[in-house]
Amino acid sequence: MGTKEQTIEKWRAYMAKKADVQMYRTALTGDGSSAPTCDVEGKPGWAWVRYDEKQDKASQVVNQVMPGAPQGVPVIIGKKYPHDKYYQILGINMELYYEHVSPTEYISYLLPLHGSTHLSSGNDPAWIDAGNFVPGAISATFPPSLFVRANSLLYEWGGNAQTLASSTLDLTACVPSSSGTHRYVLITIDPATNSLCSIAGSPTSLPVTPPIPTLPTIHLPLAIVMLEYGDTAITQSDIYQYKYLFGSAGYLYWLNKIAGDYSNELDIELTRHEVGA
């Protein structure tokens, strides 16, 4: 019989063979199509990912960490716990922010070697505009229709956290009925019912700029959509993100404002959260 130490080593080796092995893979979000997000249509909580650039290699995985993520985000795929039934997105593949890699298919989303300095913890953080705020973002459907899509949003109401689930809203009834006219439609959340709402503004004759609809007292604004007589589909160029933030001193900052038919986006600095012109 061997020594006590030899017995322990044999036991450890046996247990190591029996231990669950966590396998991880790297992937890009989305199926490589022109869809604006990686979400699986009609299957909330799931996302398309691909392990190379071929669309026929796309797979569906659970996605609880970054719903509404755009196409082409580098992510880590695996099981959070060994006995999970499905593979899922565990997070962003941060290694690609610290190392420059050579495959040309990565160049579209990679930052250069000093990419880590552009993260929120870096000394040269990136600036983003209102259109890049994924929570609560309003976007056109794919394929385009007279519906708009809202990403999920966590917000405060009555002292409690409340979540608007990812959903769509039909704006067919908001299309102006008179030839040669257009209008703005305000998309909001009614926190009392936790639902998406559309508020149609007064139509005006082209090219007169239509008025922005009045925001109901308790509603949270998300976006403004331009609709013109005869429209049969809404594209991303018809949508202006229209949100606001409260600063630490209680100041109200609009993330996007309408100036004529164009948006005048404010920049949000990721580290200090300052609003710039």
Cα 235 from Cα 139, distance rounded (Å): 8
Q: Is position 46 within any domain?
A: yes
Query: Does position 256 have pLDDT exceeding 70, yes or no?
Result: no
Give a yes or no: residue 208 inside a domain: yes
Q: Does position 158 have pLDDT exceeding 70, yes or no?
A: yes
Measure the CA–CA gap between 185 and 205, rounded to whole angstroms: 15
pLDDT value of position 19: 55
Whether 195 contacts 218, CB under 8 Å: no
User: Do 135 and 70 share a domain, yes or no?
Assistant: no
**What is the DSSP secondary-structure string of 158-203?**
TTEEEEEPSEEEE-GGGS-SSTTEEEEEEEEEETTTTEEEEEEPPP
Which among 72, 64, 88 is positioned nearest to 37, based on CA atoms?
A: 72
Q: Would 264 be classed as within a structural domain?
A: yes
Q: Are 81 and 148 within one domain? A: no
Are both 89 and 164 inside the same structural domain?
no
Comparing 42 with 146, which gets the higher pLDDT?
Answer: 146
| Mean pLDDT for the chain overall | 76
Residue 217 amino acid letter:
T
Task: Based on the fold, state whether residues 85 and 136 are members of the same structural domain.
Answer: no
Q: Please tell me whether residues 182 and 252 are part of one structural domain.
A: yes
Residue 232 structural domain: 131-276
| Structural domain contains residue 169 | yes
Distances (CA, A) of 186 to 80, 123, 219, 245, 271: 40, 38, 11, 17, 30
How many structural domains are present in the chain?
A: 2
| Tokens read off for 130 | 């209102």
The conformation of residue 273, written as its DSSP 8-state character, comes to: -
Name the more confident of 248 and 98.
98
Say how far apart CA 5 and CA 144 lie, in whole Å. 69
* pLDDT recorded at residue 118: 60
- Kindly state whether residues 88 and 222 are assigned to the same domain: no
Which residue among 38, 67, 93 closes a domain? 93
Are 240 and 165 part of one and the same domain?
yes
**CATH code: domain of residue 78:** 2.40.50
Task: Tell me the pLDDT tens digit for each residue of 168-224.
Answer: 999 999 999 999 999 999 999 999 999 999 999 999 999 999 999 998 888 989 999
Most confident listed range (24-28, 107-111, 203-207, 257-261): 203-207
Mean pLDDT of 138-165: 89
In a shared domain, residues 142 and 226: yes
Whether residues 151 and 203 share a domain: the answer is yes
Could you tell me the pLDDT band of residue 264, with boundaries at 50, 70 and 90?
very low
**HSE-CB for 75 with a 13 A CA cutoff:** 28
Residue 69 burial (C-beta neighbours within 10 Å; 0-12, 13-18, 19+): buried
CA distance 178 to 207: 14
Rounded percentage of the chain residues whose pLDDT exceeds 90: 30
Burial 198-225 (b: 16+ CB within 10 A, else e): bbbbebbeeeeebebbeeeeebbbbbbb
User: pLDDT class for 69, splitting at 50, 70, 90?
Assistant: confident
Phi first, then psi: give them for residue 172, nearest 5 degrees. Answer: -55, -45
pLDDT of residue 271: 30
Is 136 inside any structural domain? Answer: yes
| 88 inside domain | yes
Q: Residue 119 and residue 129: Cα distance in Å, rounded?
A: 15
Domain assignment present for residue 166? The answer is: yes
Tokens of 2: 């061997």
Same domain, 137 and 53: no
Strand 74-78 and strand 25-29: pairing? antiparallel
Please indicate, yes or no, if residue 51 is contained in any of the structural domains.
Answer: yes
| 74 and 140 inside one domain | no
Q: Indicate if 87 and 137 belong to the same structural domain.
A: no
